[in-house]
Amino acid sequence: MRKALFSFEESYELRFNQPLHEKNPTPPAVAGRDGSIEKIGSRLRQSHILSDCERKQSDELADLQHALESAAQFSLYEQKRYADNSSS
């Protein structure tokens, strides 16, 4: 039994390159899309940050589009009003 436990610990340490009984173990390294090695927690944080940024950019883009549409409508209104005043 002791031999099996030791071999499990040894295989874990070899596989994840960290001691099994570490107080604050870091997540195992994984290969990224570009072949680089990164930590699992780091990848999750990056994806959450990225989705937050995408959402904020989408909201900002919608606000800008609304502002442009409002400015265009106001400009058309002013042009029509100027044309009506000129003809009178």
Q: pLDDT tens, 28-51?
A: 555 555 555 555 566 666 777 778
Q: Which long-range contacts (CB under 8 A, 24 or more apart) does 34-38 make?
A: none
In a domain, 18, yes or no: no
Q: Which domain holds residue 75?
A: 23-87
Beta carbons of 67 and 73 less than 8 angstroms apart? no
- Could you tell me if residue 6 is inside a domain? no
Residues 6+ apart with CB under 8 A from 12: 20
Residue 8 has pLDDT above 80, yes or no: no
Residue 16 lies in a domain: no
Query: Does residue 4 lie in a domain region?
Result: no
Domain membership of residue 30 (yes or no) is yes
pLDDT given at position 1 = 44
Can you give the pLDDT at residue 65?
Answer: 92
Please report the pLDDT score of residue 51 as a whole number: 80
Residue 10 lies in a domain: no
Q: Determine the pLDDT at residue 64.
A: 92
Amino acid 21: pLDDT: 58
Question: For the CA atoms of the chain, what is the radius of gyration?
Answer: 30
Is 47 a domain residue?
yes
Would residue 45 count as lying in a domain?
A: yes
Domains of the chain: total: 1
pLDDT tens digits for range 62-78: 999 999 999 999 998 88
